[in-house]
Amino acid sequence: MSRPRIVITGLGGLCSLGTDTAAIWSAMQAGRSGIGPLETIPLHDLKIRTGGEIRQLPTHDIDRKRLVTMDRFSLLAVLAAGQAMSQSGLSVEPGRSDRIGAVVGTGICGWEAIEENYRSVLLDGKTRAGIFTVPRVMPGAPAGQVSIQYGLHGPVFGVSSACSSSNHAFTAAADQIRLGRADVMLAGGTDAPMVWGILKAWEALRILSPDTCRPFSADRQGLVLGEGAGMAVLESYDHAVARGATILAEFAGSGMSADAADIVAPTVEGPAAAMRACLADAGLAPEEIDYVNAHGTGTKANDEIETTAIRRVFGAQADRLSVSSTKSMHAHCLGASGALEMIACVMAIRDGVVPPTIGYREADPACDLDVTPNVARQRPVRAAVSNAFAFGGTNSVIALRAV
């Protein structure tokens, strides 16, 4: 029995590159950086003062009474989901809303609310926390808020696997459709880590770059944190065709693995296993992949390990691949990164353009792939793979292809 084909019919996103998919993709093609000096948060004693901030959110009509129940990561997810639904032409019809659901990944949680309450109770002498603190903070809040805003009564839940959260969300959403639990799923990821406490915690890991993100470049100094959200409308091919939707790409398959080794230090074997599993699930040979959107964080260890893993999986095809890390432009948006990188992959397939790895200055013999340095490249992209490897050793890889 063949399983249902899953296709993508809508995309939405917000990050430091722009507040909709068109703006994000335009910036990616131009090799424009969204990384810069932090402006919207109190810096206090932070040593690292750069990041990928969304300077201004787009206008919206979300009711004020609902807004007070949302932390920033939920709001970003709701806005991105609305964009994806609009592009897909999806309407939630009475009596059919139980066939539409949502899965939203996040790497952290509603830290804005946590920090507000620490300040009010510990510093300002208030005797109780804000009444909506719990629903603002909980990692499943973005999925719930998306379902409430758009009237989705199907399977709705959150997933959290650090930087792999978006790809795990896409996989879980596709599974709901293939299992017959839904016809359509909104899926993606969101994170809003641009608050003092989170930045201070990441500083302690000593892996943040003091200026910008240069994945695969020999002089790379680490990752840069950013905020954002990305959402996609996934639906069965038959459902999309029946309603006359424009199909952007096919969600061909996914693969997952665990390093089971160290909470922060990655292995080669885990990422390689996830890539192999993804290709097998998608029914794609290494020779059919033209583009790999790398996890590409800009840390010395991660970039070297990912290069080695790609070479192990793709063999001779590794030298014919176009590889890039769009984190060099939108920064590392944690649980949202995979969703923003899905936008890059879908649009690369649609437009035949591979976005660049910007900031690249020096070749590193340990990162000897074609990383599309600094300038976008035109080439047909039949199929693309997007890698996500996370703290905890949780790896998730997705494959997309032209329809």
Contact 338, 388 (CB under 8 A): yes
Annotated active-site residue 44? The verdict is: no
Q: How far apart are CA 360 and CA 328, in angstroms?
A: 9
Q: Which of 163, 213, 278, 367 is catalytic?
A: 163
Angle between helix 165-178 and helix 337-351 axes, rounded to 10 deg: 70
Dig out the tokens for 286 from the structure. 């290494």
Q: Which of 109, 239, 332, 345 is catalytic?
A: 332
Dig out the tokens for 109 from the structure. 């949680």
Pairing assessment for the beta strands 377-378 and 353-354 based on DSSP bridges: antiparallel
- Residue 225: Cβ within 10 Å count: 25
Q: Would you list the DSSP string of 319-386?
A: GG-EEE-THHHH-B-GGGHHHHHHHHHHHHHHHTEEPPBTT--S--TTS-S---BSS-EE---SEEEE
Q: Which of 109, 168, 278, 295 is catalytic?
A: 295
Identify the burial level of 237 via C-beta atoms within 10 angstroms of its C-beta, where 0-12 means exposed, 13-18 middle and 19 or more buried.
middle
Q: How far apart are CA 6 and CA 121, in angstroms?
A: 48
> Quick one: residue 89, left, alpha or beta (phi over 0 = left, psi -120 to 50 = alpha)?
left
b/e 322-335 (16+ beta carbons within 10 angstroms → b): bbbbbbbbbbbbbb
Annotated active-site residue 153? The verdict is: no
- Please tell me what DSSP assigns to residue 107: S
Residue for token pair 């609009």 = 86
Q: Which residues are catalytic?
A: 163, 295, 332
